[in-house]
Amino acid sequence: MKKVLAAIVMVAVLAAVVFLAGCAGAPKIIPNEEAWGGFVGEWISPDTATAGYLYPALQVYQADLIGKWYCLSSATAPNLVLRFKPRKSWVDEQGCVYCQVHFQKTEIGAYSSAFECAGLMRIDKTGKVLEINAISGVSEQGSTADWAYKQLEQIDTQLAKKLPASSSGGSQAGGWLGIYWIYYRK
């Protein structure tokens, strides 16, 4: 009887350890408003030599979910004004804050057509480093959006090389334009 009881206790303890170990690495979901607050401010590119439409020199994020991108450091007005819509936000075990977003231009201007993307933004625990992955040409909802957000669960510096060809035309990844940017708080 004691052996059976000891075996049951041992199994229960092992099950509890396995359960708690699985929970320890799980990200903590946070409200989108809390996550977005960490992104608010001015962010500058460390590489102004490659600055331009595909890598803005300065990105400014406002509390009202508006982003302003200045493609060149000498620009006095934003080249792109974007509206961001957070979808899901979390904090990982290292304290980095993540926010999946959909963003699109608020008006046609520098680009002659609509511009919208699925994105993942991450700031480090100190709040000084911003990394962004984005997949262009993704509408807010639908099967393509579902697919894109599955690709955007973690920051990937090689995202562009991993995207499949799309039926919409050419880009650096054979169809989808995958973006990785890094910025520092100004």
Per-residue pLDDT of the chain (186 residues; tens, 9 = 90+): 555 444 343 434 333 333 433 445 689 999 999 999 999 999 999 987 666 667 899 999 999 999 999 988 888 999 889 999 999 999 999 999 999 999 999 875 554 456 799 999 999 999 999 999 999 989 999 999 999 999 999 999 999 888 886 544 433 434 568 889 999 999
Provide the whole-model pTM: 0.79
**Listed residue (166, 167, 4) closest to 178, CA to CA:** 166
Domain span at residue 80 reads 27-185
Q: How far apart are CA 56 and CA 64, in angstroms?
A: 20
Is 55 among the domain residues? yes
Residue 42 lies in a domain: yes
Considering the domain boundaries, does residue 20 fall inside one?
A: no
- The predicted structure's pLDDT at residue 108: 56
In a domain, 80, yes or no: yes
Number of structural domains, the chain?
1
Q: Is residue 21 part of a domain?
A: no
In three-state form (DSSP H/G/I as H, E/B as E, the rest C), the secondary structure along 31-99 is CHHHHHHHHCEEEECCCHHHCECCECCEEEECCCCEEEEECCCCCCCCCEEEEEEEEEEEECCCCCEEE
Report yes or no on 11 lying in a domain.
no
105 in a domain, yes or no? yes
